[in-house]
Amino acid sequence: MPGVHAEVRGITKRYGRTLALDSVDLVMQRGRITTLLGPSGCGKTTMLKIIAGIEKPDKGTVVFDGRDVTFLPPEKRNIGFVFQDLALFPHMSVFDNVAFGLRVRGYSKSEIRRRVRDILELVGLDPEVYGDRRVTQLSGGQQQRVAIARALVFEPSMLLLDEPFAHLDYKVKMRLLSELRRIQRETGATIVYVTHDQEEAMLVSHTIAIMRAGRVVQVGPPEEVYERPSSTFVASFFGEANIIPLEGGRRHVIVRPEYVRLGPPTNGGLKGVVVDVVFQGAFYRVEVQAPQASIVAIVPKNGVHPRPGDRVSIAWDEDKALVVEE
């Protein structure tokens, strides 16, 4: 099992009257990707900046390898940071962008050349082809690779990424997420990744920390957070979920669409009317209006699927549903 690389303990941060972080505790395992996932304004980026040392907390401590680094400046934390806007130097070549941090740190010319060539190859950019190009001559995906190479070239113990693929098209983003997993496996780096995109989080993470209103509300592997959400907020934010209120309104049944079974209306149990059917490649997404709630089911395309206006029965296995109280 990987050991603890970094921890934040009781981190609180205010900006004027706004409470950005509220007593946050979080553990980041060595050699794993921990993702901070949540809606805009929930405190993800503030948390990342405090881990980096760019921001200072009002309360709490940041610990690296058992050492309190709360007030240690960023340059002494041995971290790499990739911002959403990348912050590449447009007047420099790819080689010089990646080499910049090494030159500041006083590495020799031969060591700089070796490291830059190695890291460009690692991120999938042939140094012979791309080394002399200006970054303005590269595609968005290639610029992202340069930014990651620049952050990794001095072999930091931790890499922090703040929504690095937010502005890329879907296919490029998916390819780079796969590349990021490969790079992490090959380097063994500890990565903290910030996103508001649940699909990104599911694809890239070993551990996901769901944030809401300055707090971490659930932490765990993607499978655990998906299958055992701690609240209706987590269930609806991380994947699609049917949330069915029980009598009194404080308790809810949570069941994922792929576990819902639709049948003839003569079957027992919950009944509803199909209001929408959408073809989505491998399956149909069927929305059914029941008295208690609108319920979504996933129906394989190789089976018979209902049509709008059909009356159906709705069922699921008890072990696939979860009851939460809020």
Predicted confidence (pLDDT) per residue in 260-273, tens digit: 999 999 888 899 99
pLDDT for residue 2: 67
Predicted confidence (pLDDT) per residue in 51-70, tens digit: 999 999 999 999 999 999 99
CB of 173 within 8 A of CB of 201?
Answer: no
Region of poorest pLDDT, from 32-36, 67-71, 221-225, 302-306:
302-306
Q: Which of 90, 84, 93, 100 is nearest to 150 (CA)?
A: 100
The mean per-residue pLDDT over the stretch 173-198 comes to 93
The CA-atom distances, in angstroms, between 177 and each of 31, 88, 133, 192, 205 are 17, 20, 24, 14, 10
Give percent above pLDDT 90 in the chain.
86
Q: Which of 213, 262, 257, 209 is nearest to 236 (CA)?
A: 257
CB of 295 within 8 A of CB of 314?
Answer: yes
Report CA 23 to chain centroid distance, whole Å.
21
Q: Which pTM was predicted? A: 0.90
Domains of the chain from N-terminus onward = 4-227 (3.40.50.300), 243-325 (2.40.50.140)
Type of residue numbered 308? P
Phi-psi region of 129 (alpha: psi -120 to 50; beta: other; left: phi over 0): alpha
In this structure, the number of other CB atoms found within 10 A of the CB of residue 202 comes to 18
Within 13 Å and on the Cβ side, how many CA atoms surround 158?
A: 24
- DSSP track, 73-127: -GGGS-EEEE-TT----TTSBHHHHHHHHHHHTT--HHHHHHHHHHHHHHTT--H
Predicted confidence (pLDDT) per residue in 108-134, tens digit: 999 999 999 999 999 999 999 999 999
Q: Which two tokens stand for residue 24?
A: 């946050």
Asked whether residue 1 carries a pLDDT value surpassing 60, the answer given is no
CA dihedral sign of residues 134, 79, 3, 164: negative
Predicted confidence (pLDDT) per residue in 229-287, tens digit: 999 999 999 999 999 999 877 899 999 999 999 999 988 889 999 999 999 999 999 99
The CA-atom distances, in angstroms, between 70 and each of 64, 81, 161, 219, 271 are 9, 17, 19, 22, 56
